[in-house]
């Protein structure tokens, strides 16, 4: 699973908002702690604004976190099953049949290696 930029910024913003609320801070109070406008902080919390590195550090500090990484989502683990290519000796199997067999094998291998069925 690859995380898109927008998903990453939304997850970061969600973490900021959740921590801010847990500390009982308003957007205005947090924004003033880090020298940012309330509107910019609102945009960060919604995932609409890219976050500069120094702002990420300022946010982590103002939110009383020991590391910036506490605001980041976990890295997705690379898939252990990259792709499955099958060679069938039976020439009568249709392309649709090959696709179904490939899907079945991929699902089984993923479940075997990760313990989870892929979504």
The answer to whether 105 touches 86, Cβ cutoff 8 Å, is yes
The answer to whether 110 touches 98, Cβ cutoff 8 Å, is no
Give the distance, in angstroms, between the CA of residue 79 and the centroid of all CA atoms in the same chain.
15
For residues 57 and 67, give the distance between their C-alpha atoms in angstroms, rounded to a whole number. Answer: 8
Any idea what DSSP says for residue 30? H
Q: What pLDDT was estimated at residue 1?
A: 43
The answer to whether 39 touches 71, Cβ cutoff 8 Å, is no
Whether pLDDT at 44 is above 90? yes
For residues 18 and 119, give the distance between their C-alpha atoms in angstroms, rounded to a whole number. Answer: 27
Q: What pLDDT was estimated at residue 114?
A: 58
Q: Render pLDDT for 59-97 as a digit per residue (tens, 0 to 9).
A: 999 999 999 989 988 766 555 555 666 777 777 878 777
Going from the N-terminus, what domains does the chain have, and what CATH number goes with each? 5-71 (1.10.260.40), 77-119 (no CATH)
**pLDDT band, residue 119 (cuts 50/70/90):** low
Q: How far is CA 77 from CA 1, 36, 73, 81, 117, in A?
A: 8, 34, 12, 11, 15
The arithmetic mean of pLDDT across residues 36-58, rounded, is 94
Structure tokens at 25: 């801070």
Whether pLDDT at 2 is above 60? no
The answer to whether 71 touches 19, Cβ cutoff 8 Å, is yes
């Amino acid at each position: 699973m690859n995380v898109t930029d927008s998903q990453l910024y939304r997850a970061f913003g969600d973490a900021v908002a959740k921590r801010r609320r847990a500390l009982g801070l308003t957007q205005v109070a947090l924004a003033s702690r880090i020298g940012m406008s309330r509107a910019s902080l609102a945009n960060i919390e919604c995932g609409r604004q890219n976050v500069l590195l120094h702002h990420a550090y300022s946010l982590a500090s103002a939110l009383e976190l020991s590391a910036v990484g506490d605001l980041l989502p976990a890295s997705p683990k690379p898939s252990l099953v990259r792709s499955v290519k099958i060679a069938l000796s039976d020439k009568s199997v249709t392309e649709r049949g090959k696709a179904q067999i490939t899907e079945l094998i991929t699902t089984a291998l993923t479940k075997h290696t990760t313990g989870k069925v892929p979504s």
